[in-house]
Amino acid sequence: VKGEVNTLKSANSKLHQEITKDQDLLGQYKDLQKEFNLAGSGGFTIVPARVIARGAADSFTQTITIDGGFRDGISNNMTVMNGDGIIGITKAVNSTSSIVQLLSDPNFKMGVRIAGTGSAGVLLGEGDNLFTFQLLDPQGSLSKGQVLLSLGSDENRPFVAGLPVGYITNVNTTSKDITQQATVRSYANLNSLDVVSVIIKGANHDLRDSLVPPAPTQPNAPATSTPSPSETNTPNITSNPTSSSASGNN
More confident residue, 206 or 239: 206
pLDDT at 21: 62
With contact defined as beta carbons under 8 Å apart, do 243 and 67 qualify? Answer: yes
- pLDDT tens for 203-218 read 989 999 999 998 755 4
* Bridge partners, 40 (sequence order): none
Instruction: Return d(Cα 182, Cα 172) in angstroms, integer.
Output: 5
Instruction: Return d(Cα 245, Cα 48) in angstroms, integer.
Output: 9
Given a cut of 80, whether residue 237 has pLDDT beyond it is no
Instruction: Return d(Cα 215, Cα 209) in angstroms, integer.
Output: 14
The stretch 3-31 carries a mean pLDDT of 72
The stretch 100-104 carries a mean pLDDT of 97
**Stretch (H or E) spanning 41:** helix 2-42
B/e letters for 39-70, b = 16+ CB within 10 Å, e = fewer, are: bbbbbbbbbbbbbeeeeebeebbbbbbbbbbe
- Lowest-confidence range among 23-27, 29-33, 61-65, 220-224? 220-224
- Closest alpha carbon to 117 in 147, 161, 152: 147
Whole-Å CA distances, 62 to 130, 159, 190, 239: 13, 18, 9, 26
- Lowest-confidence range among 2-6, 60-64, 167-171? 2-6
With contact defined as beta carbons under 8 Å apart, do 50 and 245 qualify? Answer: yes
The stretch 101-122 carries a mean pLDDT of 95
Instruction: Return d(Cα 112, Cα 148) in angstroms, integer.
Output: 6
Given a cut of 60, whether residue 16 has pLDDT beyond it is yes
Instruction: Return d(Cα 229, Cα 231) in angstroms, integer.
Output: 6
- Lowest-confidence range among 17-21, 59-63, 65-69, 99-103? 17-21
Given a cut of 60, whether residue 222 has pLDDT beyond it is no
Q: What number of residues does the chain have?
A: 250
- pLDDT tens for 182-195 read 999 999 999 999 99
pLDDT at 27: 66
Instruction: Return d(Cα 103, Cα 197) in angstroms, integer.
Output: 15
> Percent of the chain scored above 70 by pLDDT?
81
DSSP 139: T
Given a cut of 60, whether residue 88 has pLDDT beyond it is yes
State pTM to two decimals.
0.79
